[in-house]
Amino acid sequence: MFCPNCHYEYRPGIVTCPDCGADLVTELPPVPPSPPRVKHPHEHPQLVTVFETYVLPEIALAKSILEEAGIYHISRDQMAEAAYFMDGPSSIMVAREDAEHAHELLANLAMDRMLDEQMEKMTFEDETDHSDENP
């Protein structure tokens, strides 16, 4: 017999927990699985850059993808240099051992960005080609 509150096991014949007064049960409910453990920076001294962009919403999306996967990450805007003017792209870094998995997770995001850039370039070229024509 087990106490559902204290999780102590008692010998047969005891029906109430002497500590909390709860009625004992024949078995304890299963323990729910714990959420994935997010690693912290002190566990990963070697960080590598896995994503860079000038588009801030992309950084937010990339962070959420990594958080959902339980991969600890740090972005350039979270680092000490954020107190100074940043020129250049925002970047996300992860532990070296998580880099391959992070690249896989963020590959579609990078591919979408490349496609958007190609579409913009094609539109710009199309507009400049037509600007020489006189009606």
pLDDT of the residue at 66:
93
pLDDT of the residue at 115:
60
| Domain extent listing, the chain | 1-28, 41-130
Domain boundaries 41-130, corresponding CATH code: 3.30.70.790
pLDDT of the residue at 83:
46
pLDDT of the residue at 53:
82
Tell me what the mean pLDDT of segment 11-19 comes to: 91
For the cut 80, the answer to whether the pLDDT of residue 116 exceeds it is no
For the cut 90, the answer to whether the pLDDT of residue 16 exceeds it is yes
For the cut 90, the answer to whether the pLDDT of residue 22 exceeds it is yes
Is 38 or 107 the better-scoring residue by pLDDT?
A: 107
pLDDT of the residue at 17:
92
pLDDT tens profile 59-97: 888 999 999 999 988 887 644 444 455 567 788 999 888
pLDDT of the residue at 133:
56
Listing DSSP states for 37-52 in one string gives: PPP-GGG---EEEEEE
Q: Is the dihedral of CA 18, 24, 28, 32 positive or negative?
A: negative
